[in-house]
Structure 1
């Protein structure tokens, strides 16, 4: 049982989007079963976990303890004081042990109604008190074995992804106790455009190439957003390149908080290598001039902390490419980091004038391709490619005509669902951010399809696709009208998904 629709609290206006997350939290926190519940909320820094959980406890009259980096005794003392204020009782003194503190927290749910109790940034408590997970496990086991009526809905949140995985992963003792496991991810590119109040799709993608979908970053610049495409350069100079804003050093803070005390210099260099075109472990190690084992350790650390993603090639699954998960880190390490010393001596406008070409080629171009892949997975719908997409990835093959030359590649390779093998090839596409696309792009895709067919790939129903940030020629539009190619421009990326599917269906019928 759960809260009725009448008593179910509406999401506060101060919480942007996050409708599904709010519904999941309210359902968990309002569950009226007479058993204690345990929920886990994880996600990288700055995604709004605290904001969301604070809104939840305020809406349902719950208790939230915001963990700080402190000694064990100080945390227990603070918890005792805050519990006393919450229950409106005289402070009994700090709990002597975490076993006692856990019992006191769980006792909040013995008043006949569900009570959400939040320990925010739980990993910091575990670092102070390694015995805490065992104390929680024992307390829950006792309550469930005795069958005592207890309706505490304990929510443990954390930004340290390695610690959260260690505590709540599939093999962890607390994993089996969790009734809810909620991951708070960055806003997608459409949500981010609405959050920043940007209607122009080209401007929205440029801003997303800098700050991504992390909600906190708009607050870091006091809500300042570019007023139009012509204002973008001025906005960059006055925000992310301005030492007076928190965004100026945010990329360094992300790496410092995500890598703890490991070799941050090597991590910075690894991110710089990836941001400027190196994608595999071997390429990165060669660029850094470091043994592959050291590079692999560094890259694994970045992946574990959610700062890197590893994605298999769509045509050669053994080839894994790495990409930076946080756009701000890619922006910093490709465009800004080489200019950091100049920023101390020159104005941001002059520095940005030199960095802008690098930003356009090394940052926005790859980011646009990634947004196109995200669009396929989140918005395209089955009508666009003939079935539900299961994966959207980059793909490349050696060129038999130029064995020593670059591979023949595709930016958006869409596969359908399949069991334990590569799914059916639904689409092969190329993405060009600043290039009007023409029939020669379609011919490139057709040549790649011939190569794939020669390797035994079934391309009978594969749909060529062109993705462009500036548009398509009349000849390519004519090919679309004949059902030869799927065209996706910025307007389509940012418009309603059902409209996109309908438009494709209409084109196929012509």
Structure 2
């Protein structure tokens, strides 16, 4: 992409120059949306084709409530005249962008493609740093997440810790102020939202715990959480066997980078400004990265569930439900099943159930017994199509795969499979 941009740079500059030299110079001097859009339509006809990206569209409509109606009028005229102008409207507020598709919107029916862009998954993210081992890749996923911009800054000639110190923990690092900029740009009360994010990053996963830790009125929490969910910063979790009306909800930070900032950088800002970032990974991150259930172990579970989704045809070819977790109603962490998916429906329903072990020792029969015991607590004597065990350090020699047991190592999780990327 960059190479192509350099190759055609002079041609692109020429087109931009011609754009400003259209009759009357109206593109360059337009002061309102209508003449600007009409001039762009003329430019499209002059050039043969033109695509224009309008970013942060929700903010523009708030500053000018007539923009949608103006667009409706102009697009109608463009369609009548056959002018080859394509408008791409972008915005980070999902609910407001979705509102453009509703019947009440002036732009209803005008869109021919609607995309929601998500962070890259773990294999796509790994492609940015091919020199790193599977363990390093999972650590990178834990602290950097899957946003392409963050991943493009990584240098796999040095370790994950060196990159995190350079980019995030260093007060002059490219991503040191990223979370603050994001909250200030997207939210009207950034301090309140930051307190909620901090509470969730510290393991407060239930509404009552968040209210207490963040110090906000109970009546306000839902409003704040919905906004954070809309921005993809917080994610609600419920057991895959829960009814839609179930109240046993838990919350987690959906963006690993935001989570790592609140977990490892924000509590130590004063020390980082005084002492710098050198050695900060060893002091602040490494001691808990592999032991904190919300850090690398949680990433390992996420990666395992994504792997199951990619390889579902190995286990089941029919109808199946969401791939998620089974959560104990009482909130006991030990009774959770890390991977769960209902196969089929009704009385013919079976289950795919798994346990993830992010430990340095090979997994033995104890993990399988724990998985089966927890399954009995949740599902009683339900039929299980396949048991799955995921292990960072492999498996004990006495534990071997069987028709109803699939063993998956970290190396296998990160092994690209043809046709699946």
Q: Same fold (TM over 0.5)?
A: yes
Residue of structure 2 in register with 1:408 after alignment:
335
Residue of structure 1 in register with 2:220 after alignment:
294
2:146 pairs with 1:213: yes
Q: What SS is found at the alignment partner of 2:169?
A: coil
TM-score of the two chains, using structure 2 as the length reference: 0.85
- Given candidates 298, 302, 321, the residue that maps to 1:370 is 302
TM-score of the two chains, using structure 1 as the length reference: 0.71
- Given candidates 301, 309, 326, the residue that maps to 1:395 is 326
Residue of structure 2 in register with 1:243 after alignment:
171
Residue of structure 1 in register with 2:198 after alignment:
272
For residues 178-207 of structure 1, give each alpha carbon's deviation from its aligned partner in whole angstroms, at most 9, with x where no partner exists. Answer: 011122222211111111333421111111
Residue of structure 1 in register with 2:133 after alignment:
200
Please give the alpha-carbon distance, in whole angstroms, between the structure 2 residues aligned to 1:496 and 1:424.
31
Please give the alpha-carbon distance, in whole angstroms, between the structure 2 residues aligned to 1:62 and 1:322.
48
Q: Are the counterparts in 2 of residues 210 and 328 from structure 1 also a CA contact under 8 Å?
A: yes
CA pair 224-140 structure 1, distance change in 2 beyond 3 A: same
Residue of structure 1 in register with 2:90 after alignment:
157
CA pair 212-58 structure 1, distance change in 2 beyond 3 A: farther
Q: Are the counterparts in 2 of residues 386 and 426 from structure 1 also a CA contact under 8 Å?
A: no
How far is 1:13 from its partner? 6.4
For residues 422-448 of structure 1, give each alpha carbon's deviation from its aligned partner in whole angstroms, at most 9, with x where no partner exists. Answer: 994431112122253221111112123
CA pair 431-62 structure 1, distance change in 2 beyond 3 A: farther
CA pair 350-112 structure 1, distance change in 2 beyond 3 A: closer
How far is 1:104 from its partner? 2.1
2:34 pairs with 1:99: yes
2:396 pairs with 1:473: yes
How far is 1:497 from its partner? 3.8
2:40 pairs with 1:115: no
Please give the alpha-carbon distance, in whole angstroms, between the structure 2 residues aligned to 1:444 and 1:273.
30
How far is 1:344 from its partner? 2.2
Q: Are the counterparts in 1 of residues 92 and 231 from structure 2 also a CA contact under 8 Å?
A: no
Equivalences, count: 411
Please give the alpha-carbon distance, in whole angstroms, between the structure 2 residues aligned to 1:464 and 1:196.
32
How far is 1:302 from its partner? 0.8
Q: Are the counterparts in 2 of residues 382 and 388 from structure 1 also a CA contact under 8 Å?
A: no
Q: Are the counterparts in 2 of residues 381 and 497 from structure 1 also a CA contact under 8 Å?
A: no
2:270 pairs with 1:341: yes
Please give the alpha-carbon distance, in whole angstroms, between the structure 1 residues aligned to 2:368 and 2:124.
31
Q: What SS is found at the alignment partner of 1:397?
A: coil
Query: 5+ unaligned residues in a row in structure 1: which ranges?
Result: 1-11, 16-53, 65-81, 501-510
2:68 pairs with 1:133: yes
Q: What SS is found at the alignment partner of 2:326?
A: strand
Q: Are the counterparts in 2 of residues 167 and 175 from structure 1 also a CA contact under 8 Å?
A: yes
Residue of structure 1 in register with 2:123 after alignment:
190
Within a 5 Å distance, the mapping from 1:53-72 to structure 2 comes to none
CA pair 200-176 structure 1, distance change in 2 beyond 3 A: same
How far is 1:109 from its partner? 4.1
Q: What SS is found at the alignment partner of 2:338?
A: strand
CA pair 58-159 structure 1, distance change in 2 beyond 3 A: farther
2:185 pairs with 1:257: yes
How far is 1:87 from its partner? 5.4
Residue of structure 2 in register with 1:224 after alignment:
155
For residues 326-380 of structure 1, give each alpha carbon's deviation from its aligned partner in whole angstroms, at most 9, with x where no partner exists. Answer: 2111111122222222222334345433322233213111122112222222x22
Within a 5 Å distance, the mapping from 1:309-328 to structure 2 comes to 309-317=235-243, 318=246, 319-328=248-257
CA pair 124-302 structure 1, distance change in 2 beyond 3 A: same
Q: What SS is found at the alignment partner of 2:356?
A: strand
How well do the aligned residues superpose, as a CA RMSD in angstroms? 3.5
Q: Are the counterparts in 2 of residues 60 and 116 from structure 1 also a CA contact under 8 Å?
A: no
For residues 40-76 of structure 1, give each alpha carbon's deviation from its aligned partner in whole angstroms, at most 9, with x where no partner exists. Answer: xxxxxxxxxxxxxx99x98997999xxxxxxxxxxxx
